[in-house]
Amino acid sequence: MDLRKIIRTIPDYPKPGIMFRDVTTLLADARGFRRAIDELVQPLAGAKIDKVAGIEARGFILGGAIAHQLSVGFVPIRKKGKLPHKTIGERYALEYGVDEVEIHVDAVSPGEKVLLVDDLIATGGTATAAIRLIERAGGEVVLCSFVIDLPDLGGAAKLRQMGKEVAALVAFEGH
């Protein structure tokens, strides 16, 4: 099964020249979704993972399914102001401006091994902020897993330069 064929491409979204890679078609395909989760879990066979952290919002879907399969806890990484308890946050640069993601202060315990999950890695800004949050909480990010890599945008390379292992199921050249 070629997961690339299940992922819809929407030209010129959100602006002209962008080829938007829509993972919702993969999530809606029962066999494709199962295959993606199995492939995201497979590299972790025999590894000690304490938590799966998923980046809002599609990372929640993927991360929740992976955490269930690994029988570990799940940590939501959310946009600023969305979590109800005391949080720590990490700001990151956008094309025009700054955004921030947060986790609860007690979401990750010191020494815990964490798998970071999201649907797509593009420039790596959000993933970098998520890694910093997990590490500030005392966790160790052992793998960053994505369904889609857009290698031309350099996000996966940026994470590797930080010393992180990165895995993606498919890559789409261009963006």
What residues are labeled active site?
58, 95
H helical segments located in 114-172: 125-136, 155-161
Residues in the chain: 175
Residue of 149, 117, 147, 171 whose CA lies nearest to 25: 147
Q: From CA 108, how far away is CA 50, in angstroms rounded?
A: 9
At 128 the three-state DSSP class reads helix
